[in-house]
Structure 1
Amino acid sequence: QAYMEPVVPGISANPALFTAIHKDTAELYYELVPFDAALAQAMSDKAVRIIRATEAGELLPRIAQSSDFHECRFCDWQDRCWKLVPEQLVAEGLPQ
């Protein structure tokens, strides 16, 4: 919604429609999600920080101390994040 505001004036005044499908029953679920300008800006700022760090070859801090943390176990980037050992970080010029 935040990015559509210049194209569709007033769109942020209306909630977004979140839609999900129950995979077992094919039942549809709908929920109106109100626009939160502060959250939208915070997420945009976070994305910019991540992109800039990535472009600079910086390895950002992990969200956990161990690869068996529940969020890490399901992450698509687990190999990139956890398979680098300190020697590789130094060789790649990345902070340890």
Structure 2
Amino acid sequence: MEGTVPGISAAPALFTAINKDTAELHHEQVAFDADLAQRMSDRGVRILQATDAGELLPRAATTPDFFECRFCPWSERCWRLPA
């Protein structure tokens, strides 16, 4: 293909992570997954629609002592609201 850079067309996305302790950067090329991208886009739209409508989406857990809930800064507010 004209105008393509070798290696990029096989893995067109670049994932970058930052080590918060050392500020070290990690980069890796990842393959594009159209199905996953569409599902995540649809999920984002649903979250925005729910927010605009004042809806509370289903919680990630059934009890407030679930490990993810215990570390969530919104846990107290979330569990105070009716499901």
Distance 1:61 1:26, change over 3 A: closer
2:75: which partner in 1?
78
Q: Which runs of 5+ in 2 are unaligned?
A: none
Matched, 1:66 2:66: no
1:51: which partner in 2?
48
Matched, 1:29 2:26: yes
Give the SS at the match of 1:59: coil
Q: Which amino acid aligns with 2:56?
A: L
Q: Which runs of 5+ in 1 are unaligned?
A: 1-9, 87-95
Q: Which amino acid aligns with 1:74?
A: F
Q: Which amino acid aligns with 1:47?
A: G
Q: Distance in 2 between matches of 1:51 and 1:65?
A: 23
Shift of 1:27: 4.2
Distance 1:36 1:65, change over 3 A: same
Q: Which amino acid aligns with 1:36?
A: D
Q: Distance in 2 between matches of 1:18 and 1:41?
A: 18
Deviations 1:7-36 (A, max 9, x none): xxx8xx443222234344554422211111
Q: Which amino acid aligns with 2:73?
A: D
Q: Which amino acid aligns with 1:82?
A: W
Could you tell me the TM-score, scaled by structure 2's length?
0.68
Number of residues of Structure 1 aligned to a counterpart in Structure 2: 76
